[in-house]
Structure 1
Amino acid sequence: MNSYRRKAAILIALVSAVLAIIASSAASFVARENAEHATVQLAVEESRRMIGQFDIGDLNGPDGQAVATRAARALAGGLFEVAEIYDRNGELLAEWNTGEGERLQAQIDEHEGLQSRQPDYQGLYLPDGRWVLRVFVPLYGDQPADAAPTAYFEGVRVVPDWQRQNMLGTTLTAALMAALAAIACGLAIYPIVVHLNNENDRKSRDLLKSHIALLEAMGKAVAKRDSDTGDHNYRVTNIAMAIGEKLDLADKPMRALLSGALLHDVGKIGVPDRILLKPGRLDDQEMALMRSHVPQGEDIVDGIPSLDEARDVIACHHEKWDGTGYPRGLAGEDIPLSARIFAVADVFDALCSPRPYKDAMSFETAWGIIRDDAGSHFDPRVVEAFRPIARKLHEQHFGRNGGRSREILERGIAKYFF
């Protein structure tokens, strides 16, 4: 499993777990509320049915207490352990308790009056762990629905263990189903996400390959104008990459370094061949034209987001540590690190390669120049990083086993771009 799939699996699993917890909690709450509501509705309907057998219109007359007592007695012992009847003003008319109801009364607070026109209830947990429902039912008798209640009924019911177990089972089932649904969604989404990512990754790789091929082609086209082979670009990019690795460059700055190395001299497209290939020393005017390849290179990549990361190397690879370089005369750490790294790679390759105006130098001569120019032309820290790998790089690119620059670069591109 690659890193993306592992991350996707972990994230989807975490999201699924969170959704499972949220969904199961919500489902548990809704299931419990529904079960509780169903129990209350049963109690309300039963209380109304039983009271309907009595003439509750008489509750407010001279025989109201007797009628209320008969109604309370009828209700207690069935669904309710405590049954109380109140008149329209909320005054207690009658109360009837079972033996259990008398014990419950000592554990339940007195109500604060009944004024609601709709049935209501309270769910209470007793100190001994039992769960009771306290039901409040307004009674209308033959009065119209918009009239004030004729009387009120209050009943207290202990929910039996079997009913609680049934409610708990319903709640757990709902919670489990919700959790499984969330997990199933995660399992279903994962392969879709992986497929879409693979497709996007394939397209991105194709686009990136085209981008790198463009960098390579542009750099190689320029390199062939002032050297015997286009391998110059491969060599300087590999040398710069090796120095960057010694300096522990992260992936992003390494990609910027490689892109800049491939395009470092792209501005030479605008330099005439008579100057670019002149075998002798350039005069001041010719040198000015040669140096113009830096701003021309910047202009070429300007406004192209995919080439923007190459800008530092293109713009600053001829700057010098002591500030005597061009075109801006930057010094020290004001010069971007990628340009300081590339400067060492570029000069080393130029010293070790034959050109129309000179022969290739030996490793010892080329390294001696690089070493001696540390602190003036080059960043001493970069030269120090280059020192232990310089001979090996010379053998790879200029010795008997030379010619493998393209192969080495392909491995570097695969490592840092893919």
Structure 2
Amino acid sequence: MNLAGPLQGIRVIDVTTNVSGPSLTMILADLGAEVIKIEKPDIGDDSRMMGPLWKGEGVYYLNINRNKRSIVINIRSEEGKKLVYDFVKDADVFVENFRFGKAEKMGFGYQDLQEINPALIYCSLSAYGQEGIKRYKPGYDAIVQADTGIMGINGSEDEGVARVAVSILDQGSAMWGAIGIISALYHRLKTGEGQKVETSLYETGIFWMGYHMLAYMATGEEPVKLGSNHASFAPYGAYETADNPVMIGVSNNSLFEKVCKVIGKEEWIEDKRFKTNLDRVKNRKELNHLIEKILKTKRSEYWITKFEETGVPSSMIQPVSAIMTNEQTESINMLTEIQHRKINDLKIPRLPFQLSKTSLEIKKAPPLLGEDTEAILKERGVNQETIDELIEKGIIQKND
């Protein structure tokens, strides 16, 4: 196996903060790119203080900033801007997630940096995109979940709306941004041309909602909030047992027949209420009530064993503590243990794909604020006297 990642030799200048941008550059870093994370003085990336804190480090930050190098530069100062411009001269990629128009005001817009390096791949990751009436709006993941309809289809009729409890739009837009950057790098390999890559949380949310929009076009009906249930299949959801709930998924008649046999209700197979999937969806509430009444007679482990023996997709609803230590997580080496300067034995999830010929190794713990400031500048030929002067002026900061 080649221990160098597929993006070895690619240099990325990262001025992003919070979740979406750092998630994008983490993907590039895990693929072997050198990611220079430029942070603001004193507090750095805002995610450093997003709790809970673990020995002074925000867990949001720890989760999405491995394999990067941190340098602190006051990019609002003229001397700080000059440092960034110098980095851009031989960079391959520049990534920003400022609010619309801010990069241009600061002198870091696409046109500004393309003049310095025409071959640069410039990625802008925003809340609402670069066009339209909402492009100026600030927006976090949950705000855009609401604005794209995702929140409106989550939750239940009884309990109201609910946001998806993971950063589905932040990390989804990060994936699209990474795909866009890699596509642009491939185009540059063939043509020598740099270009701008644009993505946003809003575009990602609209894309995720494709099925629901098509269903609306087909039926004219707004989707209803179904909790753990599925709009197109039944039975499909979480069901209470004698102890803990279980999740089962039935998407065809064959699986429904297996469920009926497991719960001792084979007569349902020919029941007109449940004979086809469309029938079952139509009579979902009644079917769910009948199934749950039976499942409540025995413990979850019993039912999961029976469902698995017959090939019915099913699972316990696992707590975080269980997924970290279960056999499946360990067998696929999903968690990588790495030494952090403050935290011993930090475990971080790797990227959820592997390459048979190329390493995607987590080699470096998330850096402390300014951990690499001095080293990065010295590599670029800046002498110690100049570094000390820049520190004295507050242009840069380092962490010893």
Task: Indicate whether the TM-score tops 0.5.
Answer: no
The structure richer in helix per residue is: 1
Normalised by the shorter chain, which TM-score bucket?
Answer: under 0.3
TM-score in terms of structure 2 length: 0.20
TM-score in terms of structure 1 length: 0.20
Q: Tell me: higher relative CO, structure 1 or 2? Use CA pairs within 8 A at least 6 residues apart.
A: 2
The structure richer in strand per residue is: 2
